[in-house]
């Protein structure tokens, strides 16, 4: 990535809405803790961050996004926003695993993110991420604790990643907790 092209990164994979702007090696972050409302808050938060640094969306050279694991809906919100912005701005979008970002931020070999029902998403080294009971997480694991630190790491990792990769996609370790409706779909009427 060109050093003069700002990179915008964001993440809504947990109970937060977080954004970072990477400008010539300097990272500016904003984050708000929230368990709901990320879809309504993400774009205004991004706009506020850019305006505070006198940057327009059209100035961006790349988008970085946290792809999870984490909250099913939250991941879909940020990945969809990243793909939409990248398409509209004609810049690359780079997906970054939140576990990789936690590991990078803490310079740790093992990263963990709290998951529902007493579980944790865990990745040791370059091994495959797994879902483990909280009590089985190694004691030296780095945990996702600060959304600002997470999104800053996402920005840095996105800046160093190849820009010609596939579009970001959600990274899930388990299926969504919601189940499809068991009701029959409505009968569609043909106009002909």
In tens, the pLDDT along 24-35 reads 889 999 999 999
Strand pairing of 93-96 and 16-23? unpaired
pLDDT tens-digit profile of 161-186?
Answer: 998 888 899 998 877 666 666 777 66
Judge residue 104's burial from the number of C-beta atoms within 10 Å of its C-beta, 0-12 exposed, 13-18 middle, 19 or more buried. buried
- % pLDDT > 90, the chain: 81
Average pLDDT, the chain: 92
d(CA 186, CA 91): 40
Tell me which of 167 and 78 has the higher pLDDT: 78
Listing DSSP states for 90-144 in one string gives T--EEEE-HHHHHHHHHT-SEEEEEETTTEEEEEETTSPPEEEEGGGS-TT-EE-
Strands 7-11 and 93-96: unpaired
Cα radius of gyration rounded to whole Å, the chain = 18
What's the chain's length in residues? 192
Q: DSSP secondary-structure letter at 10?
A: E
DSSP characters over 17-81: EEEEEEETTEEEEEEEE-SS-HHHHHHHHHHHHHHHTT--GGG--EEEEE--SS-HHHHHHHHHH
- Residue 144 dihedral angles phi and psi, to the nearest 5°: -70, 110
The partner residues of 94 in beta bridges, in order of sequence, read 64
Mean pLDDT of 56-72: 96
Is 7-97+146-160 in CATH node 3.30.420.40? yes
| Per-domain residue ranges of the chain | 7-97+146-160
Q: Nearest-CA neighbor of 132 among 111, 144, 142, 118?
A: 118
Q: Which of 8, 4, 9 is nearest to 24 (CA)?
A: 4
């Amino acid at each position: 990535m060109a050093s003069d092209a700002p990179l915008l990164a964001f993440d809504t994979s947990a109970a937060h809405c977080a954004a970072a702007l990477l400008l010539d090696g300097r990272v500016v972050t904003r984050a708000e803790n929230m368990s709901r409302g990320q879809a309504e808050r993400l774009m205004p938060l991004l706009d506020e961050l850019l305006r505070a640094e006198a940057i327009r969306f059209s100035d961006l050279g790349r988008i970085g996004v946290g792809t999870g694991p984490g909250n099913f809906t939250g991941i879909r919100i940020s990945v969809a926003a990243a793909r939409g912005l990248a398409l509209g701005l004609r810049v690359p979008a780079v997906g970054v695993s939140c576990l990789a970002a936690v590991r990078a931020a803490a310079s740790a070999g093992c990263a963990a993110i709290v998951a529902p029902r007493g579980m944790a998403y865990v990745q040791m080294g370059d091994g495959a991420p797994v879902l483990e009971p909280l009590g089985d997480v190694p004691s030296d694991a780095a945990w996702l604790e600060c959304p600002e630190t997470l999104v800053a790491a996402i920005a840095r990792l996105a800046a160093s990643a190849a820009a010609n990769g596939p579009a970001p996609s959600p990274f899930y370790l388990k299926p969504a907790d919601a189940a499809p409706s068991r009701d029959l779909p409505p009968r569609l009427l043909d106009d002909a």
